């Protein structure tokens, strides 16, 4: 499967034999028999939600990432919303974030009635450029929301320096970066609040789910209340103490994660270290395979970072090809390689254009988007799967090379 293709191979899009018989998705969950058994045990227990597995998962997850507190949520988006609330964002405020992300990162600012402000990204990592963030700071700025794009940590020290000067929080959207290291420290306890996602394509899954980690006790308490309708106590606490009385102290939401989901998360947590290691192995193999392909630009890794590789986004050098990114994408899909694109810059979506955003606001992000293709990246990939991706990319690129 790893034999080098030649230009004589007919592409599948032109009627040739595809590299794979079935589609290899860009991401996929891995669920073990132990995971299933853990869920079944909870289904047979007294607590399906707001029970003991929630606190256990939060504590063990926080310890794994190196934070004092973990507060679970029903999704990564819910976790982002809670972080924006805990940061104090409200009408008249601004939150500076990146356009190179899934829309939820910016949407959570809108949920609070505040205004997202987009700063451009660095050309190498496609993470927020602290210099561009500094240009967007204003008296209305109440938070900076960084994203660890593809699993590569943002320039956290530089961004923290900006937030410390202003007395505002840094929210790190680490939904791509569970297990990543920044200057020798796992992400999760560095920013004021760090947000993780447990969607099926992530390093650990609870089906849907998310977590905010923090070292700040007050933020942790606000986050807990926000995810539980703004109520100051939880059902299990009241049952244990034989009490019925509770108070709603803020306007919150039902963003709770169930015991069923947390049981799955706890079981998956036992394999998280090996899952991250496997993603790094795949990334290393991709990097070695594509380093000498002049039409491709593999993702950059800074010396102070060890990415967790949620995505493996390559960039196409269109000047060295006879076709555009769209044709490369279609040709790879025809080879049954489930490539994807991450991301359409948020400010270019119709909803944000209707808010007044326009092309040209973030030229680095916009130029990168035109060239990006995400290759399959998930820890359940076999060596043969990785070989199929390498062969298909080489086959397609060599066919369209100038």
Residue 269 in 3-state DSSP?
Answer: helix
**Which pLDDT belongs to residue 2?**
45
The number of domains in the chain is 2
Give Rg (Cα) of the chain: 22
Q: 71 and 160 share a domain?
A: yes
Last residue of a domain, one of 237, 269, 301: 269
4 found inside a domain: no
CATH code of 317's domain: 3.90.1150.10
Phi then psi for residue 369, to 5 deg, are -55, -40
Residues with catalytic roles? 202
Q: 217 and 305 share a domain?
A: no
Gap between the Cα atoms of 352 and 187, Å rounded: 30
DSSP string covering 96-140: EE-SSS-THHHHHHHHTT-EEEE--B-TTT-SB-HHHHHHH--TT
Gap between the Cα atoms of 320 and 119, Å rounded: 30
Q: 330 and 183 share a domain?
A: no
Q: 155 and 286 share a domain?
A: no
Last residue of a domain, one of 243, 269, 295: 269
Gap between the Cα atoms of 242 and 238, Å rounded: 6
Residues 6+ apart with CB under 8 A from 172: 146, 148, 154, 156, 187, 190, 191, 193, 194, 195
Residues 6+ apart with CB under 8 A from 123: 364, 368
Q: 129 and 76 share a domain?
A: yes
Question: What is the 3-class SS of 137-193, one letter each residue?
Answer: CCCCEEEEEEECHHHCCCCHHHHHHHHHHHCCCEEEECCCCCCCEECCEECCCCCCE
Query: In angstroms, how far apart are the furthest CA atoms of the chain?
Result: 76
Q: 115 and 163 share a domain?
A: yes
293 found inside a domain: yes
By CB neighbour count within 10 A (0-12 exposed, 13-18 middle, 19+ buried), where does 28 fall?
middle
Q: Provide the edge-to-edge strand list for the sheet that holds 141-147.
A: 69-73, 210-214, 193-197, 170-173, 141-147, 94-97, 115-118
CATH code of 68's domain: 3.40.640.10
Domain range for 374 is 12-29+272-400
**Which pLDDT belongs to residue 242?**
77
57 found inside a domain: yes
Phi then psi for residue 35, to 5 deg, are -60, -45
Residue 40 in 3-state DSSP?
Answer: helix
2 found inside a domain: no
Pairing of strands 305-306, 115-118: unpaired
Last residue of a domain, one of 225, 253, 269: 269
Answer whether 263's CB lies under 8 Å from 42's CB: yes
52 found inside a domain: yes
**Which pLDDT belongs to residue 5?**
46
Gap between the Cα atoms of 374 and 251, Å rounded: 39
**Confidence (pTM):** 0.95
Q: What is the pLDDT along the chain (402 residues), one digit of tens a residue?
A: 444 444 469 999 999 999 999 999 999 999 999 999 999 999 999 999 999 999 999 999 999 999 999 999 999 999 999 999 999 999 999 999 999 999 999 999 999 999 999 999 999 999 999 999 999 999 999 999 999 999 999 999 999 999 999 999 999 999 999 999 999 999 999 999 999 999 999 999 999 999 999 999 999 999 999 999 999 877 777 777 778 889 999 999 999 999 999 999 999 999 999 999 999 999 999 999 999 999 999 999 999 999 999 999 999 999 999 999 999 999 999 999 999 999 999 999 999 999 999 999 999 999 999 999 999 999 999 999 999 999 999 999 999 999
Block residue for tokens 């796992």:
186
Instruction: Looking at 196-271, list the stretches that DSSP marks H as alpha helix, in order from N- to C-terminal side.
Output: 217-226, 235-241, 259-269
**Which pLDDT belongs to residue 3?**
45
Helices 52-65 and 259-269, packing angle to 10 deg: 30
Residue 388 in 3-state DSSP?
Answer: helix
**Which pLDDT belongs to residue 8?**
64
Gap between the Cα atoms of 242 and 281, Å rounded: 52
323 found inside a domain: yes
Answer whether 229's CB lies under 8 Å from 252's CB: yes
Gap between the Cα atoms of 289 and 267, Å rounded: 34
Please state, as a whole number, how many other Cβ atoms lie within 10 Å of the Cβ of residue 108: 29
């Amino acid at each position: 499967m790893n034999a080098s293709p030649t230009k004589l191979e007919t592409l599948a899009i032109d009627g040739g034999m595809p590299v794979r018989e079935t589609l290899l998705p860009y991401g996929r969950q891995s669920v073990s028999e132990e995971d299933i058994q853990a869920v079944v045990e909870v289904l047979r227990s007294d607590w399906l939600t707001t029970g003991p597995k929630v606190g256990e998962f939060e504590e063990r997850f926080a310890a794994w990432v190196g934070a004092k507190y973990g507060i679970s949520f029903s999704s990564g988006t819910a976790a982002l919303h809670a972080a924006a609330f805990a940061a104090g964002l409200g009408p008249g405020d601004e939150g500076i974030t990146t356009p190179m992300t899934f829309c939820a990162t910016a949407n959570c600012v809108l949920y609070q009635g505040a205004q997202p402000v987009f700063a451009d990204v660095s050309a190498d990592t496609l993470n927020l450029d602290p210099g561009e963030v500094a240009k967007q700071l204003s008296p209305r700025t109440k938070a900076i929301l960084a994203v660890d794009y593809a699993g590569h940590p943002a320039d956290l020290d530089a961004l923290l320096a900006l937030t410390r000067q202003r007395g505002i929080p840094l929210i790190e959207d680490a939904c791509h970066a569970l297990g990543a290291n920044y200057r020798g420290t796992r992400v999760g306890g560095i920013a004021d609040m760090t947000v993780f996602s447990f969607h099926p394509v992530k390093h650990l899954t609870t089906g849907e789910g998310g977590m905010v980690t923090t070292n700040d006790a007050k933020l942790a308490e606000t986050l807990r209340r926000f995810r539980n309708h703004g109520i100051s106590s939880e059902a299990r606490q009241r049952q244990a103490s034989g009490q019925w009385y509770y108070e709603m102290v803020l306007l919150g939401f039902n963003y709770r994660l169930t015991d069923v989901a947390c049981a799955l998360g706890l079981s998956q947590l036992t394999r998280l270290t090996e899952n991250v290691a496997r993603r790094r192995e795949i990334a290393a193999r991709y990097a070695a395979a594509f380093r000498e392909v002049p039409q491709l630009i593999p993702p950059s890794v800074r010396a102070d970072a060890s990415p967790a590789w949620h995505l493996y986004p390559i960039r196409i050098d269109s000047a060295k090809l006879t076709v555009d990114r769209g044709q490369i994408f279609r040709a790879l899909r025809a080879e049954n390689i489930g490539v994807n694109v991450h991301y359409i810059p948020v400010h270019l979506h119709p909803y944000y254009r209707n808010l007044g955003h326009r092309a040209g606001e973030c030229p680095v992000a916009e130029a990168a988007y035109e060239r990006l293709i995400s290759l399959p990246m998930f820890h359940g990939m076999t060596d043969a799967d990785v070989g199929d991706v390498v062969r298909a990319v080489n086959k397609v690129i060599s066919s369209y090379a100038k």
